[in-house]
Structure 1
Amino acid sequence: MTALPQNLPISDVERDKAVERLQEAFTEGHLSHEEMDDRLHGVLTAKTRAELEPLLASLPEQDPAAVPTVAAVSGRLVRRGPWKVPRAFRVVSAFGRVRLDLSKAVIEHPVIEIDLGLGTGGARIVVPHDAVVDIEGLQGGWKDVRYAPPRRSRVGGPTIRITGTTGFGRLRIRHARS
């Protein structure tokens, strides 16, 4: 297969794929928020493949079978703001704290699967105000899961299905204010 010339203009499809790849790299923790913003600006203003390639070159190869993982061994890991939420991902915390804020995230799937694996660390998840939270597949550990469903059910939001184990860690789930 012959490589396409670097000086050809990029298509909207190529630009969209590059934006998606940057968002996935950010979700997986390969890019900081500032680095993602800088690279997104570069992708959106790039006119040729030669301008686009350096913005994606340092990213790890994509494995379509891999499930993205948000992990904190120790310390604190935070995902908030307009990040793209994959359909399924794993959250692991040995001793650290994980904070996932889905309230302003880009959610493109009607059901989001979060596989949780807490050791002694903890996790706090903020879901959209109209989300339905399903924790039936979650196995509790030493500490309780803190979640209070909204008094009035809301329609139209995604279903956030949380499975896995909480171990010695604590999980707190709350709905964002509307």
Structure 2
Amino acid sequence: MTDDVPELRASDADRERVAEQLRDALAEGRLDMEEFEERLEATYQARTYGELAPITRDLPGSAVAAPVSMVKEPVGEGSWAGRIVGGEGSSSWGVAILSGFERRGRWTVPRRFNSFAFMGGGEIDLREANFADRDVVINCVAVMGGVNVIVPPGVEVVVRGIGIMGGFDHREEGRPGEPGAPRVIVTGFAFWGGVGVERKLTRAERQRLKAERRQEKLDRKAARAELEGAEAGGSRREALGDMFDALDEARDLIRERHEERWARHEERRERHWARQEERRERHRERREHRDRDY
């Protein structure tokens, strides 16, 4: 069977492992950009293990070959590997001219997404999105307008945009991504406008974490009650237990109020976008009526 291994078909995960090794070699100075691009192109064109092997033969770590699995292992639910799906992407551009656009929910981010906002705004939400590649580029041009990019936790963010009397948000840069997570490169140009980048959990994830915190609180309370019942503690132990309960409740109340305020803020922003779109639509209709009358 080992003689047939070079002729076995390579998977997307195998090609991605080789591509990651090439990226590391580029960062370490072992490859220049021209060599990196040539080998990366050969990697994604390779169909078998025999075609992949020579690409990294002269790089450190290539002697340790990854084991070849003859069985297709399922991708874990919610894993990054399951969200890098390849293909061309379900949407490749967004335009807002005196209006707005949104990309959110379940969609596939292409290798390059272009957006343009002129006296308008756009929102590009990647929290529930799939990705056509491990590296995706979000190109934003904002002229007297703005574009907001929302990324999920665990994604590496690189910001390379240029602002003239405007700016790009760099606060989310510098955080290392999780293993296997995609990298989002935000680039473009802002003139009297701005491009924001923020990292947020989905509403479902926030609710899940909230339920987990409540369960942890109940578990702690039950453990303290069991301890108080098993040991003779008297009034002092009960007083300490009551104090801890009060602190937990106060902390949870503050956190819940903060989350509620944030949810109301998101709802107000969505209603604002909807009203803006309705006003622009009415303005366009009135202008069309005047043009017909003339």
C-alpha displacement of 1:115? 1.6
Aligned with 1:175 (options 191, 199, 224): 199
Partner of 2:167: 144
1:155 aligns with 2:178: yes
1:126 aligns with 2:174: no
- Separation in 1, partners of 2:129, 2:98: 24
Q: Which has the higher helix share?
A: 2
Q: Which has the higher strand share?
A: 1
Q: Is the 8 A contact 1:80 1:102 kept in 2?
A: yes
Partner of 2:123: 99
Structure 2 counterpart of 1:122, one-letter code: G
Count residues in correspondence. 115
Aligned with 2:111 (options 48, 70, 87): 87
Structure 1 counterpart of 2:163, one-letter code: G
C-alpha displacement of 1:176? 2.1
Q: Is the 8 A contact 1:75 1:96 kept in 2?
A: yes
Q: Is the 8 A contact 1:98 1:122 kept in 2?
A: yes
Give the 3-state SS of the residue equivalent to 2:192 in structure 1: coil
Give the 3-state SS of the residue equivalent to 2:186 in structure 1: strand
**Cα distance, 1:120–1:111 mapped onto 2, change above 3 Å:** same
Q: Is the 8 A contact 2:162 2:168 kept in 1?
A: no
1:73 aligns with 2:97: yes
- Separation in 1, partners of 2:154, 2:192: 30
| Bigger RCO of structures 1 and 2 (CA < 8 A, at least 6 apart) | 1
Aligned with 1:114 (options 111, 114, 138): 138
Q: Is the 8 A contact 1:115 1:162 kept in 2?
A: yes
- Separation in 2, partners of 1:152, 1:160: 12
- Separation in 2, partners of 1:163, 1:81: 22
Give the 3-state SS of the residue equivalent to 1:166 in structure 2: strand
Give the 3-state SS of the residue equivalent to 2:191 in structure 1: coil
- Separation in 2, partners of 1:110, 1:151: 17
C-alpha displacement of 1:106? 1.2
- Separation in 2, partners of 1:134, 1:150: 6
TM-score normalized by the length of structure 2: 0.36
Higher-Rg structure is 2
C-alpha displacement of 1:168? 1.2
Q: Is the 8 A contact 1:90 1:115 kept in 2?
A: yes
Q: Is the 8 A contact 1:76 1:97 kept in 2?
A: yes
Q: Is the 8 A contact 1:112 1:159 kept in 2?
A: yes
C-alpha displacement of 1:155? 1.6
- Separation in 2, partners of 1:147, 1:140: 12
- Separation in 2, partners of 1:170, 1:117: 9
Identity of aligned residues (%): 22
C-alpha displacement of 1:158? 1.0
- Separation in 1, partners of 2:174, 2:186: 20
